[in-house]
């Protein structure tokens, strides 16, 4: 990230005022006044454990995730995404928002679902098993409906029209069901060049730990099999139907300078990730 990205914007008077405030800011005095603030890093410095009741880490003990007993800087140094190689059990590097309580990884139902083990921490009360069963039945119904239009004599334009409609209707029904079963996380997806992935991930990791973004974030580890020049970073939100929160996270990513001249995609829900894609992701 270039240093010019931190410049202030506005008219001359505003810029001058902001620069003066920066020059007058006493870091040591601020920390002295806020030394008792209960943040994960302050509590880590006083001997906090993973069982600290005020903060949470659903991926506690996972070697490829941030732990409450280490600083974010130490985590970033331990697992730099540019050079940390993936393993069969760890294809992603994770950080979870310590201010939001979610199911621990060991208790999450999605760990037993193909395609769900690499998704965000589950909400308390999430019923993934029911969603999987009902979702598969709904997709089977959509597939059977589409097959009726594949019969000889059916115009191709009608087949295409009904296929799109069936897919859209199935997606809506599955997402509505997911909402009722509390399987509601969604994710913003960013792609960045390998040479800048460490810098981008550092910004996202620190913002996540500071409760500025969503419930969790992950970045793809280095893959020797995949030689693509971009890495995927996912920033998870708690509820894909909460448009205000979803938009808030997107705006914060832009404020952090991470979306300049780059597309930003949103995939609405782990529920869609667990099934065959039925609609393309949204783009901002």
The 3-class secondary structure across 193-218, one letter per residue, is EHHHHHHHHHHHHHHHHCCCCCCEEE
**Residue 13 falls within a domain, yes or no?**
no
| pLDDT of 126 above 60 | yes
**Residue 68 falls within a domain, yes or no?**
yes
> How many Å apart are CA 263 and CA 190, to the nearest integer?
7
Range in 120-134, 153-167, 173-187, 195-209 with the lowest mean pLDDT:
120-134
Q: Write out the residue range of the structural domain in which residue 91 sits.
A: 50-284
Domain of 161, CATH number, reads 3.30.760.10
| pLDDT of 44 above 70 | no
**Residue 186 falls within a domain, yes or no?**
yes
**Residue 43 falls within a domain, yes or no?**
no
Number of independent structural domains in the chain: 1
In angstroms, what CA-CA distances link 198 with 39, 151, 211?
Answer: 24, 53, 20
The helix (run of H) or strand (run of E) holding residue 247 is: helix 243-255
**Residue 216 falls within a domain, yes or no?**
yes
Mean pLDDT of 278-284: 43
Pair of tokens at residue 38: 């209960």
| pLDDT of 6 above 50 | no
């Amino acid at each position: 990230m270039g240093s010019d990205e931190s410049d202030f914007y506005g008219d001359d008077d505003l810029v001058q005022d902001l620069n003066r405030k920066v020059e007058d800011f006493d870091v040591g005095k601020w920390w002295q006044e806020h030394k008792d603030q209960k943040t994960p890093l302050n509590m880590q410095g006083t001997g906090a454990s993973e069982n600290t009741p005020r903060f949470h880490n659903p991926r506690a003990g996972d070697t490829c995730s941030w732990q409450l007993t280490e600083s974010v800087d130490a985590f970033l140094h331990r697992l730099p995404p540019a050079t940390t190689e993936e393993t069969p059990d760890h294809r992603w590097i994770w950080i979870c928002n310590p201010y939001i309580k979610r199911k621990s990884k060991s208790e999450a139902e999605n760990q037993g679902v193909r395609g769900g083990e690499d998704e965000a921490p589950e909400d308390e009360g999430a019923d993934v098993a029911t969603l999987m069963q009902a979702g598969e039945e709904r997709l089977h119904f959509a597939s059977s409906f589409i097959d009726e239009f594949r019969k000889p004599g059916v115009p191709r334009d009608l087949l295409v029209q009904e296929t799109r409609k069936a897919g859209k209707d199935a997606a809506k029904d599955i997402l509505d069901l997911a909402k009722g079963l509390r399987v509601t996380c969604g994710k913003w997806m960013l792609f960045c060049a390998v040479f800048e992935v460490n810098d981008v991930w550092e910004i996202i990791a620190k913002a996540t730990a500071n409760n500025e973004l969503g419930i969790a974030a992950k970045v793809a580890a280095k893959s020797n099999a995949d030689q693509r020049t971009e890495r995927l970073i996912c920033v998870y939100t708690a509820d894909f139907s909460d448009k205000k929160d979803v938009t808030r996270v997107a705006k914060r990513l832009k404020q952090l300078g991470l979306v300049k001249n780059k597309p930003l995609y949103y995939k609405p829900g782990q529920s869609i990730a667990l099934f065959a894609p039925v609609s393309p992701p949204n783009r901002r």
